[in-house]
Amino acid sequence: MLVNAQKDHEDTFTCIAKNSAGEAARDFEVVVLMAPRIKGALVEDVEVVEGHEMTLDCDFDGSPEPVVRWTKDGDPLPKIAQLLNGDHTLAMSGVTRNHAGVFRCALSNKAGSAEKTFNVRVIQKPELEGSDEITIVKVDLTRPVTFECPIKDPIGVELSWSRHQLPVTGDVDNLQILSGGRHLFIPSAQVSDEGTFTCTAKNPAGETTKTYKLLVQGFFEVPPTILNEGGEYTVIENNSLVLPCEVEGSPKPVIVWTKDGQPITKLKSVKTLSEGQQFKISHAAMSHRGSYACHAKNDVGSAEINFDVDIITRPAVLRGIRDTVEVFEGGVAHFRCPIAEKNFKGHVTWLYDFKPVPTNNPRYSRGHGGKRLNVQKLVSCFYFRYSVHN
């Protein structure tokens, strides 16, 4: 008799009977049945970012091998669920908010049953009411105003504020952050407060913003004034350039930029900064050459300044130009540097025997901004080279 049978008692036992006439034997196979047993916690809380992959591990043992049945909220698993590792593991890719819920791994065999529960929470990108639109808020001068960050589910979400595209940190500049970032409070609205206020809600799944535009009423209306002047700007190809347009006025003017009279929306490698008060060209190209205008407008007037932008490109020379000049001995030879760009503003250097042609020798004269060289009193073959520099 086996008492308190254990798994390691499984074996083959043999009974042998003997007498004077001989012997007989009988084998007995002992199999120890063991109810399913979950390894680890019976309940597990799982968080997964929306759109990511989720893996649930149900590690167990038992004899005979338990039958495994997975469910979600008491129903069959979603179609995208895959069972791996002998049904010990459930894997899902591209998890959505609909996959949040209670997953169960139920085990059973002849000796008993067991169950493990997974409480799955899907972390979604924060939702802010009205995030797809800018809300206009009007307030009288010196009166208080409060902005709300309309978060639907604040759990695990970090809230922050910016004013005029600059971060708001703590209670500074007449601003107070309240309720853990749920509200931004201005005790006494001033003209300088006019502009955009943005709440940003962020978690591991992403971030969402809600923007307000504050209008402070009850002060004198002033037409726009542009504090700087326009002018001519030059930038080397592939470099960056910033055009300034510092504007004052009340109500706060709206700033619009154009190029050659057309909107800049289709222009590549450009963006506006500081609510339009700067226009930046990131990688200057020939397509950026032209006339730019900064237009500032509010309810009582408008103002405009203009800029002419020129792009300096690497010099190029025309092909197919005759490189041999014939002239009678004692005559004058005329050499032309065939620069492709009509409005070339760089420097042309002429070389003779790989040395610069002297500028103080009356035998040599230049014209057309250095692009032409005249050589007098020729007596034999002369070989000239030219180089072009911006």
- In the chain, the percentage of residues whose pLDDT exceeds 90 is 54
Is 111 within 8 Å of 32 (Cβ atoms)?
no
Q: Please provide the average confidence, as pLDDT, over all residues in the chain.
A: 86
Between residues 326 and 79, which one has the greater pLDDT?
79
* Least confident interval from 180-184, 226-230, 304-308, 319-323: 319-323
Confidence tier at 78 by pLDDT (50, 70, 90) = very high
Residue from 92, 102, 87 nearest 45 by CA: 102
Q: Is the predicted pLDDT of residue 387 greater than 90, yes or no?
A: no
Q: What is the pLDDT of residues 25-54, one digit of tens each?
A: 777 676 667 889 999 999 999 999 999 999
Q: How far is it, in rounded angstroms, from Cα 363 to Cα 336?
A: 17
| pTM exceeds 0.85 | no
Confidence tier at 390 by pLDDT (50, 70, 90) = very low
Is 159 within 8 Å of 126 (Cβ atoms)?
no
What was the pLDDT predicted at 137?
95
- In the chain, the percentage of residues whose pLDDT exceeds 70 is 88
Q: Is the predicted pLDDT of residue 322 greater than 70, yes or no?
A: no
Q: What is the mean pLDDT of residues 116-132?
A: 93
Burial of 276 (0-12, 13-18, 19+ CB in 10 A): middle
What was the pLDDT predicted at 259?
96
Q: What is the pLDDT of residues 199-223, one digit of tens each?
A: 999 999 999 999 999 988 876 678 9
Q: What is the mean pLDDT of residues 236-261?
A: 93
Burial of 389 (0-12, 13-18, 19+ CB in 10 A): exposed
* Least confident interval from 197-206, 261-270, 362-371: 362-371
Is 179 within 8 Å of 188 (Cβ atoms)?
no
* Domains of the chain with CATH codes: 38-123 (2.60.40.10), 134-217 (2.60.40.10), 222-312 (2.60.40.10), 332-389 (no CATH)
Which residues, 6+ apart, have CB-to-CB distance to 71 below 8 Å? Answer: 77, 103, 104, 106
* Least confident interval from 110-124, 338-352, 355-369: 338-352
Q: What is the pLDDT of residues 264-298, one digit of tens each?
A: 988 999 999 999 999 999 999 999 999 999 999 99
Confidence tier at 367 by pLDDT (50, 70, 90) = confident
Q: What is the pLDDT of residues 331-341, one digit of tens each?
A: 787 777 777 67
- Amino acid code (one letter) for 185: F
